[in-house]
Structures are given as C-alpha cells and as structure tokens.
Amino acid sequence: MKDILAELESRRDAARLGGGQRRIDSQHAKGKLTARERVDLLLDEDSFEELDMFVAHRCTDFGMEQDRPAGDGVITGWGTINGRMVYVFSQDFTVFGGSLSETHAQKICKIMDMAMQNGAPVIGINDSGGARIQEGVASLAGYAEVFQRNIMASGVVPQISLVMGPCAGGAVYSPAMTDFIFMVKDSSYMFVTGPDVVKTVTNEVVTAEELGGATTHTRKSSVADGAFENDVEALAEVRRLVDFLPLNNRQKPPVRPFFDEPGRIENSLDTLVPDNANTPYDMKELITKIADEADFYEIQEDFAKNIITGFIRLEGQSVGVVANQPTVLAGCLDIDSSRKAARFVRFCDAFEIPILTLVDVPGFLPGTSQEYGGVIKHGAKLLFAYGEATVPKVTVITRKAYGGAYDVMASKHLRGDFNYAWPTAEIAVMGAKGATEIIHRADLGDADKIAAHTANYEDRFANPFVAAERGFIDEVITPRSTRMRVSRAFASLRGKSLKNPWKKHDNIPL
Ligand code: HXC
C-alpha cells in the first residue's frame, strides 16, 4: 500500500512540474505566474478540486510519443471564490506553449459541461499558442468543441476570460465568445496571427504590443474589457467581479452585507450640474455617491469614455450602471459608445442584474465618419438592447436628454420602470440654439430676434416638466436624494415579472 501511495505522490509531483523547472523559471522571468499559481490565487485557499491531472495527449507524429507530460498543458477543476462555486481552466505555457491538443480540449469541455449542468461560472485563464501544431486537424476540432460550448453557455452561466500570455488563433476566439476578457499589461497579447505572419502577408511591420497588447485591445479594438498591471492584480480583480454576478441565469445576483445608509442624503449633488449647460462635470462622481460604500467596478474603462458601464451595489444588491459622461465628447452617443453599452445592457439582462441609467446626452455624434461607420445600425443596438431588457430599469436624467438619444437611454417608452429627472433636466428634440435656427430660419439675420426665440425655447422646453406633465417622467427629484430614490425604486421592483413574446431568438442589428 505504501508503495502505491508513494507512486501516486510521485506522479502528482511530476504533473505539478508541468513542462519542467527550466520553463517554469522562464515563465517567472517574464513576470508571469505559472498556471497552478494562478489557480491558487484566483480561488479561495485550499478550495481547488483538480480533475484530469493525469490526462496525456495521444499524438504520435513528430516524435510526440516521447514527450507526454501529465495534464497535457491545462489544469482544470472547480473551487470557490468567497465561498461561491466556479469552474476554472488554466493553460500551462510550460507544456508545448499551452497549445491546445485534442485531449487538452476534452479537459476544458469536461468542466464546461459540468458548469452548465451544475450552474456555475467558467473562468478561463488563457496562456496559449493556439491549436497544437503537431496534432493538425484534431486540435482544430478540439477548439471547435470548446467554441460550441462557449456559445451554448452564453447567457446561461457567466464566462470570464483572463488572457495572461501570448494568445493566438483559437486561443483568442474562445475568449472572444465569453462575457468578459481581462488582460495583463506588457505580458499578454491577443492576435489572430502574430507579427511575423502579418509581415509576410501584408508587409506591415508591427510589434506584438502594437498588434495585440493590452493597450491596443482596451483602447482601440475594445476586444478586452480591462487590463491590469500584473497577474496578481488581474486575479484579485476577477474575484471582485465574480462577487457582483449570479452563478447562473436561474439565480438572482448575490446580496452582500452593506454598511451604507440607503437613505443617505448627498447635499453636494445639488451643485453637481454647473450653471452653464455647456460646462462638463464628472458623471463618475454621481455613480460613486449613489453606490453602496462608493464601490464601482468599471467595465471597459479605457474605451468609448463618453459612456460609462460597470457594477455597483444598492442595499447590497448588484446593479449594472450605464451613464453618459459629459466630460468626453459632451456625452454624445456614437458608434463605439453604443456598442459598448449595448453589450453591457444585454449581459445584465441575461443574468437578471437590474440596470440604472444616468442620462446627460446631447444626441448622436453627427458626421460622415459616424454615418459611414454605420452609426444607425450601431446606435440601434443600444435601443434594441434596452427595449428587449426585462430586468428592473431605473433612469435618472440629470441634464440633457435630446432627440433620439432621449428615447434610447432607457426612456419610459422602452419600458423604463422608474424614470426620474433632476430639476436641471432638459428634455427636448434638440438644444435651444439648434432648434431656434431651424424653426426661425427667416430670422437668422437678426441676432436680437434669434436670442429672444432661443430664450423662449429654453423657457418652454429646457426643463423636465413638459415630459413630467405627460407622465414620461415619473417624478422630478432633488439631486441630493438620488441614492434614496433609486434604492427605493429598485427595492420596489424585486418582484418584477415581465416576459417578451415567445420567439426562437431576436434579430438584434449586429
Ligand atoms: C505546439 C507550440 C505552439 C503551438 C508554441 N509552442 N506554440 N507548440 N503548437 N501552437 C511551443 C514552442 O514550440 C515552444 O516549445 C514553447 O511552446 C514556447 O514557445 P516560444 O515560441 O518559445 O515562446 P514565445 O517566444 O513566447 O512565443 C509564443 C508564441 C509563439 C507567440 C505563442 O510560440 C507562436 O507564435 N506560436 C504559434 C502560434 C500559432 O500560429 N498557433 C496556431 C494558431 S491556429 P519549447 O519546446 O521550445 O519550449 C489556431 C486555429 C484555431 O489556433 C482556429 C480558430 C478559429
């Protein structure tokens, strides 16, 4: 018996060494943790239950039968994050560059199937050169099996991807189908084909960082939702995110203990909106003053900054926030901000997370670059996402809500449950100056007349009361009481039940 136990331990020790000490040292030298160290940091201490530690590949080409490391380049299993179950896979770059073989894929598929069956999120730690070249089509088939599960799991269990090394080919397409992607600055890259292939095919010379580094994907492409300084920070932040999310689409989001008075009055908010309607102010101040303990988890912080998306808690309950940001492009909606917010709204709706919308929007950004880029279709994504969402929706208009953008931003007409406005709100087809220049075109040469028309328009429309008279605004509220009003609104909606008509699926303008 003793010998058998000793053999088990020695096999386990060998598996834990992955591709060997030399490659582990090289991983550390690049500032990266190993696959196992990452799992240990992600999960609660001693909570990891590993599966398939002894799985080995079956490839016999290119002399591969001589090198069959236990585990085959990926560590899989389940554990807990603050006591709540998650499934995890972590690719081991020290074993064939974390590349995906047929058996490596089977390990990932196994935990994805279990996650679906048992209703828990999947967190994938990606550090992989993509399909294992020696296995050819078998590894491509393995990727497609993973992709199919990503698709089936979408909207059923949250899927979170950490990209923590150079990821190419299939290693980027699987994360692309998950809900969130987080990268690590200076040590992770995502590209369909690397710089060498780019040079061969297009003659373009580009570094890995420029082509697919964290800056590229969080600022330009928006493929990634966030980037962190190092592995440790990235893993800690994913733990924080998981705390906001339900385990699956049949559960409500978790309720955490809170130490903040729901009726807290914030007098400073009464002067947040400047006297001059064209002076910007920071909408994040409002978000943090509404949130429990000022805790805000921002998603896509560095992309389309004219709209803010992220999670807060109210009375301990998760709430998704979408807010126009007047400090960037005056808070206009455009292609990028519409796409960013639409995807966020759909995530919240899929996982029963109520949505708070804070509105200060002068309209859609005009111009040829927007029209040629398809702003009509991209703007429609956000409109569609809000309109189909059945979760509790509470909206607060702080200042401008002009034109189509008023309709889009979770208006009453898109089944907003509570639509509040501050007294500073201006709800109109457009700003007073633009409106006057169109309806009083004949007086354009007379500055005095135009000024009088503009003042008249402002008096009549630059306020929330015309909309409130029609019931499009449920109540005009004082800025200082916003947290209290919004908390009470969401509390009253906890039993909300709203269903869309049966359909196979909708046809959101993609
Ligand atoms: C087998 C691989 C591998 C792969 C890397 N390795 N990628 N082995 N299959 N795909 C091995 C290397 O041989 C090396 O082994 C070890 O991993 C580390 O690789 P290095 O090149 O030394 O590391 P680095 O310089 O950091 O470069 C990492 C890399 C590069 C950028 C990922 O290795 C690379 O470009 N790999 C190929 C990427 C690729 O084209 N993959 C196929 C994509 S197609 P030793 O023994 O020296 O340690 C695909 C299809 C899916 O995925 C379809 C999606 C729709």
DSSP 8-state secondary structure symbol assigned to residue 225 = S
User: Is the pLDDT confidence value at 167 over 90?
Assistant: yes
CA 416/CA 490 separation, integer angstroms = 12
CATH superfamily of the domain spanning 2-242:
2-enoyl-CoA Hydratase; Chain A, domain 1 (3.90.226.10)
Å from CA of 128 to ligand 1 middle: 7
Mean pLDDT, residues 318-334 taken together: 97
How far apart are alpha carbons 361 and 356 in whole angstroms? 15
Question: How much of the chain, in percent, has pLDDT values that exceed 70?
Answer: 100
C-alpha of residue 117 to centroid of ligand 1, in Å: 33
* Choice from 21, 100, 104, 133 to test ligand 1 binding pocket (greatest atom count within 8 A of CB): 133
Kindly indicate the confidence band of residue 116, based on its pLDDT and cuts at 50, 70 and 90.
very high
What's the pTM value of the predicted model, to 2 decimals? 0.95
Query: Mind listing the pLDDT tens digit for each residue in 45-61?
Result: 999 999 999 999 998 88
Residue 132 Cα to ligand 1 middle (Å) = 8
**DSSP run (H or E) holding 376:** helix 375-388
- Could you tell me whether strands 226-228 and 297-299 are parallel, antiparallel, or unpaired per DSSP bridges? unpaired
Phi, psi of 500 (to 5 degrees): -85, 160
The alpha carbon of 133 and the centre of ligand 1 are apart by a number of angstroms equal to 8
Q: Name the residue among 72, 173, 182 with its Cα closest to residue 125.
A: 182
**Ligand 1 mutation target, pool 32, 99, 206, most atoms within 8 A of CB:** 99
Task: In whole angstroms, give the CA distance from residue 481 to residue 458.
Answer: 26
Report domain extents, the chain.
Answer: 2-242, 267-425+463-492
Whether the pLDDT of residue 38 is over 80: the answer is: yes
The CA distance from 75 to 108, in Å, is 9
d(Cα 505, Cα 369) in Å, to the nearest integer? 32
Distance 143 CA to ligand 1 centre (A): 15
Confidence of residue 481 (pLDDT cuts 50, 70, 90): very high
Q: Which of 32-41, 296-305, 438-447 has the lowest mean pLDDT?
A: 438-447
Point out the ligand 1 atom lying closest to the alpha carbon of residue 197: 40
Question: What DSSP line would sit under 18-36, residue for residue?
Answer: TT-HHHHHHHHHTT---HH
User: Nearest residue CA, atom 44 of ligand 1?
Assistant: 169
Q: Torsions phi, psi of 240, nearest 5?
A: -65, -40
Contact residues of ligand 1, CB 6 A cut-off: 23, 96-97, 99, 129-133, 140, 143, 166, 168-170, 173, 194
Give the model confidence (pLDDT) of 173-224 as tens digits: 999 999 999 999 999 999 998 899 999 999 999 999 999 999 999 999 999 9
Q: Do domains 2-242 and 267-425+463-492 have the same CATH topology?
A: yes
The pLDDT of residue 59:
87
Mean residue pLDDT across the chain: 95
Q: Is the pLDDT of residue 2 over 80?
A: no
Band (446; pLDDT cuts 50, 70, 90): confident
Fold of 267-425+463-492: 2-enoyl-CoA Hydratase; Chain A, domain 1 (3.90.226)
Query: Does residue 449 surpass a pLDDT of 70?
Result: yes
Instruction: Return the half-sphere exposure (C-beta side, CA atoms, 13 A cut-off) of residue 107.
Output: 28
Structure tokens at 464: 């929330």
Q: How far from 19 is each of 13, 95, 125, 192, 232, CA to CA, in Å?
A: 12, 5, 17, 25, 22
pLDDT classification of 409: cutoffs 50, 70, 90:
very high
Give dist(CA 121, CA 85) in Å, integer: 8
Q: What's the pLDDT at 189? A: 96
Q: Model confidence over 64-95: pLDDT tens digits? A: 888 899 999 999 999 999 999 999 999 999 99
pLDDT surpasses 90 at 267: yes
End-to-end CA distance of the chain: 61
Average confidence (pLDDT) over 137-149: 96
Residues annotated as part of the active site: 169-170, 404-405
Among 117-126, 269-278, 371-380, 448-457, which stretch is predicted with the lowest mean pLDDT?
448-457
Q: 141 falls in which pLDDT band (50, 70, 90)?
A: very high
Distance from C-alpha of 385 to C-alpha of 389, rounded to nearest angstrom: 6
Atom 6 of ligand 1: nearest residue by CA position: 97
Pocket test for ligand 1, best of 92, 96, 148, 189 (most atoms within 8 A of CB): 96
